[in-house]
Structure 1
Amino acid sequence: MARGKKRKSEQGPARKWFWRLVKTGLIAGLLATISLVVAVLVVRSSLPGFEDLKSSPNGQMIRVLDVNGKELFSMGPSYGEWLQYPDIPEVMKAAMVSVEDRRYENHPGVDPIGIARSIQVRMQRGHWAQGGSTITQQLARNIFLNNNRTFGRKGREILLALAIERKFSKEQILELYLNKVYYGGGAYGIDAASRRFFAHGARDLSLAEAAIIAGLVKAPSRYSPTADAKAAIGRATVVLEVMQDAGAITATEAAEAQPASVKLAPEPRQNSVRYFTDWALPQLELLIDEAVEPIEVWTTLDLDMQRAAATAIQSRVPAGAQGALVAIDRDGAVRAMVGGTDYVTSNYNRATQAVRQPGSAWKVFVYMAALEAGYSPDDTVTDAPITIGNWTPRNSGNRYAGDIDVRTAFAFSKNTVAAAIGNDIGTSTIANMARRFGITTPIDTNPSMVLGTSDVRLLDMTRAFASISAKGVAITPFGITKVQTMKGDVLYQSKFDGSRVLVDPWVAAGITDLMQTAVNTGTGRAAQIGRPVAGKTGTTSSNKDGWFLGFSSGLTTGVWMGRDDAKPVGGLQGGRAPASAFAQFMKTAVAKRKVEQFDTELVLPEWQLEPDEDELFGEPEDGIYVDENGMPIETGRGIEFDLEGGEAADNPRLDQEWIDSVLGRGADPAPRRPEPAPVRKPRPLPPQNQPESLLPETLRPEGQ
């Protein structure tokens, strides 16, 4: 009896403690439940409405359009048509529920069985390897949270899921999920995914296609059909097996689905347009602040011109070489940009990034500086051997023409004349001219700089020629004309500023005169397109670089060709492949534009004008025949000559009358005695502005 009483007394306190713990647990559980219910109700009251959730995007979508409104491509998230629940194919609903949340219809937003299984795997492997999230939890995470796998984030996810289930119906939740979840390739929602991967809307999804899309949710990048078709098909096969196991489809339907036979949409080709967009789109950061709402970016690119530019480069570039082309309109709008022969194999943009020597194309700055300093196209200069310090430049073929005019020296790209002019006016003056016209790369001032030894970018050179085409007004290349929201609200609109004048119009007219002659009679003859063209060739030593830059009908185009490793390329003279590519492109680019004559009439300033009565009267001199170097020859005597990139010709008559006829300036059939009037003759700059010249007397402007 004593022992029984003792046991009873020992069990009494134990029972008391047990029931205390039970009561405490029940109270704590009740309080936790109340707290959870209150929290869920609070969160539920703060959730956006169903329509608000439908309209809120997950990131910014950018549609990029050409100048005519043709879509070039889309970047960022893509959203297809919003499909209401009744419009979503049943196979899509069944596939998603089967593979992601089989007990979707029965749980309150959280699946205790799935969570327990996920925790068990976490304890076994030491890391999260299996998800226990329901469709509702995934929706909460996609809309309101991030993908960090922490207990704090998981707790908020569970709370949101419970609140969502209290606020929306199961149909609404599944509709939101299927229209907002990310499926890879920038596609949000099943319609965007269907269009991205199968080239049709989600309303027409087959069972196999639905299985592929349902399989993407687990790992959009790994199972993307465009990234790894084999992995996507394998994952879709697993989805079909799960659907069969869940009773959503029969074994026959699963066997007949055949994911491997699904026709995938072709991957958009990374063509030459990307050279342009890679250059233009970073400018958005400087133009607008909008970073959330979907926007449309209207660019300056003309898709038809871009295709013509890519074709011209690909068909004209020598084997083993690369090529680049930039076309700029009269207001600075970049209409075409090609940075290489193939963007897929090389996205390096040689139009905007590469720096190469321009060769004789640099002479536009030499001659503009000369015109501004007092030279005129009709001045006589001497093409003869010259040594400046330790430098002795030479002409192609070591041929020298003697006394010729400035126009002829430019047309035939005489190196010795350019060197003499540079020595006369100063290389720093030429460097200043290049800087004025937009050359941003370092410029040396050694005597040889007149032959284009300083590295430049094609875009900068083309910009300079565009400013010449604009009669000396500064042109700034740009790629974006307008940015607006999808609702039509304009966020940015480009404006042309033509207020900055780089040189006087008569200087621009003079260099245009010279460049027109170069195309019609000189080294740039391959660039002729049947309408007025002004331009300049450029070839560096050993044919490492070939250039042609010119303009016609308001469009300026620059072409560069060469190897990336700067090795010589046979036949790469600027007057050959680059000029031919220019002509091929421009014939298409300006075909619908009005033919425009150049304004090459030089209205010289007063200090360059002086009357000369001897020039007002008397009969004009008879024209003489000269060779390509401007040397007199006997009538009928054939002389072969080699232009830069040109071919031999016989008996070229290169006097001024012949040049005027080639340029279409016209003349009266019979010479008429001119009326007395002041005659424009170049005079030197005032003495205080004239550098001491080392040129022979015949190379100095008249009167110096």
Structure 2
Amino acid sequence: MSRGERREPSFGYESGDSRDDGDMRLSPDDRPVRFQNAPARPEPSRQLRNAPKRSKRGGGGSGGGRRGRRRRTLLGGLFYWTMVLGLWCAIGLGGLIAYHASQLPPIDQLTVPKRPPNIAILAADGSLLANRGETGGRTVTIGEIPPYLPKAFVAIEDRRFYEHFGIDPIGITRALVTNLRGRGVAQGGSTLTQQLAKNLFLTQERTAARKIQEAILALWLERTYSKDQILELYLNRVYFGSGAYGVEAAAQRYFNKSARSVTIAEAAMLAGLVQAPSRLAPNRNPDAAEKRAQLVITAMADQGFISQAAAKSALTAPAEVPERVGAGSVNYAADYVMDVLDDFIGAVEGDVTVLTTLDTKLQGSAETILVDALSAQGAKLHATQGAVVSLAPDGAIRALIGGRDYTKSQFNRATAARRQPGSSFKPFVYLTAIEKGMTPDTIRDDSPVSIKGWEPENYSRTFRGPVTLQTAFAHSLNTVVARLIQEVTPREVVRTAQRLGISSPLQANPSLSLGTSEVTPLEMTAAYASFANGGQSVLPYVIREVRSTSGKVVYARKANNFGPVIQPQTLAMMNTMFHAVMTGGTGSKVNLPGWEVGGKSGTTQDYRDAWFVGFTGRLVTAVWVGNDDNSTMKRVTGAGLPAEIWGKYMKAAHAGAQPVPLPGGFWQGAPKTIFGDGAPVADARIPPAGVQPEGDRAWVRPAPQERNFFERLFGG
């Protein structure tokens, strides 16, 4: 076509047209127009128009490019959706954490809960008797315990403790791998900080919610406290089993010593124990506890906390758990301390130390003798329980045994059990009679007596006729004391007993003379103490001093002088009669050679209770034997099993001690008496010639007197 020639537009596709308008985007108005008579021809597909020409061999370079693009598209999609999924997971996790964090107190108001106070109860020599309180032991600081003790816990529980920020991802991963290999839960990923957070703020339930809160609180602890402070809090809060919270309580519980004194082997056993306190308790499963301790020692050596030589020594000399640690009768005494402590210091706000009057040797001796006696004879005599109370003459409690076995029964029979004292109550009747003017030489008739239908009998079922009060007292004659209480009145006897310290309700009736009103062993011992200390009033006490952990004296007992309750002359007469019991009466088999001793036995009707109460110038001791259900024993009298226990204990307690006289001395008898033969007798207790003694008693017949005029006139 020439340059000037006008070319008509073509609206169709010619067979030779080489245009490729497959990528054209035409509006409806721009579409090609076909004439009505033009033959229809199919429009080439876009795919065919855009498709590259394939080589004859196939699989040319253009096909490989398409597959590469597909791979890149797949990887890109996977990356994209992974990012999307990760983002949503992060959002969900953040929401979950935020939700559980909202269930906790506000972080700015969060504080470590105050540890429940501990009461350390010490013997008179300063040795620890028991701990009382929810924790079982006092708080200790990192500085006062051996450095290998806290390191033992780090070595076995959290070796990266000083490196992580409260949560240990490496430790968690290691625990997961170990657990997957073992197909079970062999290790936990919790750090010491997380364990502390759980102990301080959370419950022991195993849930995802608790683990999330535990992690949040662990981060707060790490931000608020130093590593040593966290470790100190942990050591004082972690549970070791058997009611022991904290390392001090555990050391006392299992090794009977302070945490300040534990060895490497003992420290390793304590550190290994926290994984499973019930299963690894050394007093229950010593083999498992020892194997666990060996792992701890090895870990300590591997991490350089102890030398290889120290580890070898600890492995060859494992920790040993003493027998009967934390058990025994001392808990009866500790319970009594807790009963009276509030009266002196009120509510306990922090750890305190209570210094008591208790003597560890006397306490142990009393427990051993009582338990051995009941074990040897209890079944045969149907006597299952007993109690022992021993006081210094001023009222200081030196030993207190509230029962045969504290682990089986915590009821304190020494302080809380009211039992009938039987004839051991008679001294209050005789004291009242002497205060009314009678003497040990006063004569009363031992013969059948009936008081408004009440007819008491002697244990022997026999009668001796006229006897002195001293003889009646020494041989515990019931008919004589029944006549005496009628003379002095039961109400006066009640007043006398209360004056000497009996606080239990007493029934003012004639049978009171035979001890039918119930009292406690502690009351009886305190009342008898007035006979051993010169007639002074006694209030039994067990606490000498109370101190806080800082050393501040919270309470210190001051010497109390309540004044005399028995006059000197009266006391001498009573001591004389008490001594007669030990030299020729119901207590003669348990007398203490070389010592001035007084005592009195007591047996109730049907042998339900048996007592022996006695004293020297050094100790006053009461022993009770019976059954909690008040059932009858097999003819157990106060002069039998209780006297035997009393004698063995008092001999042990006085062994090696210098004898001391009884304050107040003995009565030297009535003024000189002129008998019918005109011979003066200095001591009316010694019968003169011609006077017929009866057994161990002597009745001195009064000398005949000249009758006056009216007597001669009317007789009489």
1:566 to 608, 614, 631: 631
Quote the Cα distance in structure 2 between the aligned partners of 1:531 and 1:84: 48
Give the letter for the 1:188 counterpart: G
Cα pair distance change 1:313/1:109, threshold 3 Å: closer
Give the letter for the 1:286 counterpart: D
Q: Deviations over 1:23-79 (max 9, x none)?
A: x999999x99xx99xx9xxx999999xxxx9xx994434332221223324452255
Are 1:82 and 2:142 an aligned pair?
yes
Are 1:457 and 2:520 an aligned pair?
yes
- Map of 1:248-647 to 2, 5 A cutoff? 262-269=318-325, 270-289=327-346, 291-314=348-371, 319-320=377-378, 321=383, 322-344=385-407, 346-499=409-562, 501-529=564-592, 530-564=594-628, 565-570=630-635, 572-590=636-654, 591-592=657-658, 594-596=660-662, 598-600=664-666, 619-620=678-679
- Map of 1:144-183 to 2, 5 A cutoff? 157-166=214-223, 177=234, 181-183=238-240
Give the letter for the 2:634 counterpart: V
TM-score (norm 1): 0.67
Quote the Cα distance in structure 2 between the aligned partners of 1:283 and 1:133: 43
Do 2:150 and 2:235's aligned partners in 1 also have CA atoms closer than 8 Å?
no
Residue 528 of structure 2 aligns to a residue in which SS?
A: helix
Identity of aligned residues (%): 35
Give the letter for the 1:654 counterpart: A
Q: Deviations over 1:177-235 (max 9, x none)?
A: 567644445263499659946989798646xx787545533443453333444665687
Quote the Cα distance in structure 2 between the aligned partners of 1:339 and 1:585: 15
**Structure 1: gaps of 5 or more residues:** 6-17, 120-127, 250-255, 605-611, 642-651, 658-704
Do 1:44 and 1:167's aligned partners in 2 also have CA atoms closer than 8 Å?
no
Do 1:92 and 1:214's aligned partners in 2 also have CA atoms closer than 8 Å?
yes
User: Counterpart of 2:60?
Assistant: none
Q: Deviations over 1:576-600 (max 9, x none)?
A: 4433433333334342453345345
Residue 142 of structure 2 aligns to a residue in which SS?
A: coil
| Alpha-carbon shift at residue 366 of structure 1 (Å) | 1.5
Do 1:378 and 1:406's aligned partners in 2 also have CA atoms closer than 8 Å?
yes
Are 1:72 and 2:132 an aligned pair?
no
Do 1:83 and 1:175's aligned partners in 2 also have CA atoms closer than 8 Å?
no
Q: Deviations over 1:306-326 (max 9, x none)?
A: 233334434555701343221
Cα pair distance change 1:433/1:510, threshold 3 Å: same
Do 1:525 and 1:575's aligned partners in 2 also have CA atoms closer than 8 Å?
no
Do 1:624 and 1:655's aligned partners in 2 also have CA atoms closer than 8 Å?
no
Quote the Cα distance in structure 1 between the aligned partners of 2:598 and 2:549: 42
Residue 334 of structure 2 aligns to a residue in which SS?
A: helix
Give the letter for the 2:246 counterpart: Y
| Alpha-carbon shift at residue 295 of structure 1 (Å) | 2.5
Residue 398 of structure 1 aligns to a residue in which SS?
A: coil
Q: Deviations over 1:498-520 (max 9, x none)?
A: 22554555444443332223333
Q: Deviations over 1:482-539 (max 9, x none)?
A: 1112432211112232225545554444433322233333332234212222222212
Quote the Cα distance in structure 2 between the aligned partners of 1:191 and 1:359: 44
Quote the Cα distance in structure 1 between the aligned partners of 2:415 and 2:531: 20
How many residues are matched? 593
Residue 309 of structure 1 aligns to a residue in which SS?
A: helix
Cα pair distance change 1:144/1:70, threshold 3 Å: same
Q: Deviations over 1:646-702 (max 9, x none)?
A: xxxxxx463679xxxxxxxxxxxxxxxxxxxxxxxxxxxxxxxxxxxxxxxxxxxxx
- Map of 1:231-250 to 2, 5 A cutoff? 232=289
| Alpha-carbon shift at residue 383 of structure 1 (Å) | 1.8
Give the letter for the 1:319 counterpart: Q
TM-score (norm 2): 0.66
Between stretches 78-87 and 304-313, larger displacement belongs to 78-87
Quote the Cα distance in structure 2 between the aligned partners of 1:111 and 1:324: 57
Cα pair distance change 1:82/1:187, threshold 3 Å: farther
Cα pair distance change 1:382/1:303, threshold 3 Å: same
Give the letter for the 1:301 counterpart: L
User: Counterpart of 1:649?
Assistant: none
- Greater RCO (Cα-Cα under 8 Å, separation 6 or more): 1
Give the letter for the 1:291 counterpart: V
Q: Deviations over 1:527-576 (max 9, x none)?
A: 42122222222122354433221221142211223344532334x33234
Computed over aligned residues only, the root mean square deviation of the Cα atoms, in angstroms, reads 5.6
Are 1:188 and 2:219 an aligned pair?
no
Give the letter for the 1:401 counterpart: R
Give the letter for the 2:598 counterpart: A
2:280 to 223, 226, 229: 223
Residue 450 of structure 1 aligns to a residue in which SS?
A: helix
| Alpha-carbon shift at residue 299 of structure 1 (Å) | 0.9
Are 1:136 and 2:193 an aligned pair?
yes
Residue 377 of structure 2 aligns to a residue in which SS?
A: coil
Cα pair distance change 1:568/1:183, threshold 3 Å: closer
